[in-house]
Chains A and B, each alone.
Chain A
Amino acid sequence: MRVRRLTAACAALGLVALAGCSSEAGNDATAPDATVPVEEEVQFDEGTTMAELAEAGAITVGTKFDQPGFGLVSPDGVPEGFDVEIAKIIAAKLGIAPEDIEWVETISANREPFLQQGQVDMVAATYTINDDRKELIDFAGPYYVAGQDIMVAAGNPLGVEGEESLADIRVCSVNGSTPAGYVQENYPDADLTLFDEYSLCAEALKNDQVDAVTTDNVILTSFVAQDPEAFELVDNPFTEEPYGIGIPKGDDDFRTFINDVLEESFEDGSWAAAWDATAGAITGAPAPEPPAVDRY
């Protein structure tokens, strides 16, 4: 177990260094203390998913690879972000070290199939909890609640105030995303441009090819923080997007376990530390109040 402890320490050091880099990008994020220490002696009931994973000493986690602050893959192939840290906290409670986590890219469209086919053990990928999805898979959490908002060019030349404006402007979002669906459903006549990445929407906004970008506020905030001279957040969120951990349908023991871990992380400060090191380091915003876990 000595090796384990050493690697955990290295991982913690790496995290501090990461937060340091992010701070230099222009914000005063406080360096987090460390991730949750990896449990050395874990005991689970025979036959549960937890026992299997702990026995294997490895877990496969699906996350976004292109979402700054939540899940963004670095040049060495390891994703970084808030979703990633939450997954590491859960893995730690299973006795699995961060380097024993296998990261698999999940995009919005393949999260349910990957869980159903067993290609991943769980998904932490800005995954909005909703009833359609609950019919196919189960959700632990939420561990964060985002809200759909609008980003416009700096100075807000068209005077966009909130969602009512969506009907009259050229708005951009990502094809197949929940925010795009909200616009299609509530403003069917809106001039909606759909790219496959938010960074392209931001580029189009810069080029005046669209008037606004709409998606979850956390994603928009990171764009504004990176380029405050070009962008501005309307800051009038109009939906609630509770992010949950996706797990295979019917695995209630695993769901309860993750919910327990999440609540523990809300209380012991590791959740807030994870926020400060990732999404918080980009936006400069302090960690919000953790949401209430929904044990349905």
Chain B
Amino acid sequence: MQALLDNLDRLWSGFLTTLGMSVAAAVIATILGTILAAFRVSPLPPLRALGATYVQLVRNTPLTAVFFIVIFGLPAVDVTFQNFFIAAIVALSVYTAAFVCEVVRSGINSVSTGQAEAARAIGLTFGQSLRDVVLPQAFRSVVPPLGNLWIALVKNSAIAGGGFAVADIAQLAPSLARDNPAQVLAIFGGIALAYMVITVPSGIAVGVIERRTAILR
């Protein structure tokens, strides 16, 4: 424990890095994933194919490999990012968006077709009916799985620190363990606890949001 208490400043800055990276990736992944879901239910076959290809390609690639491609693959074709923090946000967003897409799509499918038909009947375009009628109902029914994705994203972000040069809370563990070889278990336990500080309240918040936004059927 002493090793953690002696390094509270590094712990705090690592914690903020983890949180910042996760929040940024969550926002981008939600937007990108929703756009992809719209592609997948769109009436235009090329867009449907694009959305389906993205999901299959990214969902079936290990996250570590996605990090590899973003950090070491893209520079080979002259795509570089300002720093490893931004590169990590890109990798996490790209990866999580595929899962968000499928969650949102299942939400869209859960809205009865009558809703979309009624929207079209009063003259809304496909885009308008999706935005104003279908998606608001769809999101309400997928709060729990989206919460799952957020929690998974926070923990996945440890790959950025564990292997890919982001000074997050996971990166701290090995150097603290090196300097305090007698406290290795306490150090790793403490780091795990720091993730729970984010994920456990998130889980409770998701439960509250779920109850507040539930659709009474």
Q: Taking beta carbons and an 8 Å cutoff, which residues of A are in contact with B?
A: 108-110, 112-113, 132-133, 135-136, 172, 175-178, 180-181, 184, 193-197, 200, 203-204, 207, 209
Contact = CB atoms under 8 A, between A and B. Distances in A.
A93 B11 CA distance: 47
Given A136-B181, A195-B163, A196-B162, A109 B174 contact: yes
A72 to B, nearest CB: 19
Interface in B164-217: 164-165, 167, 171, 173-175, 177-182, 184
A176 B72 contact: no
Interface residues of B, number: 22
B54 interface: no
A176 B178 contact: yes
Given A109-B174, A195-B163, A181 B75 contact: no
A184 B72 contact: no
A256 B100 CA distance: 61
Interface of B: 71-72, 75-76, 80, 84, 162-165, 167, 171, 173-175, 177-182, 184
Q: Is chain B's interface secondary structure helix, strand, loop, or mixed overall?
A: helix
B178 A194 contact: no
Nearest to A201: B165
Nearest to A112: B181
Contacts of A132: 179-181
Given A108-B178, A176-B178, A207-B72, 9 more contacts: A109-B184, A110-B184, A112-B184, A113-B184, A135-B182, A195-B164, A196-B163, A200-B72, A209-B71
Contacts of A176: 173-175, 177-178
Nearest to A132: B181
